[in-house]
Amino acid sequence: MGALLASSGSAVHADTGGSIEHTPSTLFTLQSALNLPDWMQLQVAISAQPLFNPVGGLVPTGTWVQQTSVELELNSGLARDVAQWKELDHWALNLNGNHTTGNFSYANEIGAIFPLQSASYPTAFWLTETTLERQAGNGRVNVKGGILPVNPDFMEAPILNFYVHSSLNNTLNIESNDFPINPYSAVGGVVNLQIQNDLNLRAGLFDLNTTFSSFPLSSFQGFQANVGGAGNGTLQMVQLDYTGSGLAPSTGTPIRACSQNRALVRSYPRCTAPTTVANQLPGGLLSIGAYNSTDPQTGDGIYGSLTLKTRLPIGLADRVWVGASYSPNTNVDFAPVFVGGGLVVQGLVPKRPLDVVVFGIGRGGLSNPAQPNFTSSYEGMAELGYMVMLSETVQLQPTLQWIFNPSGTNQPVPGILAAGLQISLNF
């Protein structure tokens, strides 16, 4: 069918099996525009998150936050098949820088504890990663070290990246002091051991004395020391990941669908017009981890998450997830307990096979010893969103959030309804 563009922003063409394959189109990449060599890989991602609260909170107001991330990998192995790698091809230099801007205090202004936007960080330039890595290739051990954050190697489940609220997005709402969570980082190293094809054990060591202080670029945009400061001692992390196909198909596995009256529905045995759709959802994951620190202000804790497919007859494919984290250090950790879960569905609208609907709900337990001015023992959050997949380059995601028991002030605050839009650009 040539290069016909579908209504979902996808390129539609015949696959080798004679069916129609729906894949997202790419409008522009810096890699091709700059004609970079094969051993250099450059990616730029921009996420803007305007948000306002028409109902509830201390004051009805709005804000805008934005994060720009630049990633560069230098590796001669990028140009060769892994089976043909020589020793030099295993080695890579990874660089990552972030620029954040906007009002990162929005949650406090409306009476909430947890930021309603995942990009709510102090306005600054952050040198988030500078690492030398020996990639496993066809081996079983991957090692990297330098300046780096704890995530995405630890705590992060890919399914969480669909959410806008900070408690549902990224790191299971772990709020321990001095934690080098992206865009913050620290000097450290990570070792990953592939026990089996679908089972990985990862261990990391981070120097908390260098957290927030390893990047002079941050001072260029007025980063203030009282927002965060270096800790003391070291942080040790360990995590076990299971990614068996029985949990859910991998992202690279196309979704089987059936074409009916110019719309797509879930595949069924007697379908007369089978087709496939590019899978936007992550694979299955069971992740369990723990951390321990010699810094009494950081402490220790455990966390875990589970992502798997369901048999719900909605959309073309789906993932359900649950996650939790716990820290016994209630005297220093103001949010020692978190539980959450959600549902992510691709192709809920029959003529938009690449769009994704997200729903999530979470509860962050609060510690009175750490923060005596809390008005309740927890703050909850629910999020409903719809990601419009215009292309691999551009995605728009309207979001609607409800905050239960806002507790960021010493006076009772009614629930908060917030609405906004996440604009994602990937080059």
Taking the domains of the chain in order of start, what are their residue ranges? 4-426
Q: Which of 1-5, 170-174, 231-235, 305-309 has the lowest mean pLDDT?
A: 1-5
Q: How far apart are CA 249 and CA 276, in angstroms?
A: 14
The yes-or-no verdict on residue 311 having pLDDT over 60 is yes
Give residue-wise pLDDT tens across range 202-230: 999 999 888 765 444 444 444 444 344 56
Q: How far apart are CA 237 and CA 384, in angstroms?
A: 32
The yes-or-no verdict on residue 414 having pLDDT over 70 is yes
Give residue-wise pLDDT tens across range 342-353: 999 999 998 899
Q: Which residue has the higher pLDDT, 9 or 270?
A: 270
- CA 259 vs. chain centroid, Å, equals 32
**CATH number assigned to the domain covering 4-426:** 2.40.160.180
Q: Which residue has the higher pLDDT, 190 or 392?
A: 190
The yes-or-no verdict on residue 15 having pLDDT over 60 is no
Give residue-wise pLDDT tens across range 17-72: 434 457 777 777 788 888 889 999 999 999 999 999 999 988 999 999 999 999 99
Assign 11 a pLDDT band (cuts: 50, 70, 90): very low
Give residue-wise pLDDT tens across range 152-166: 999 999 999 999 999
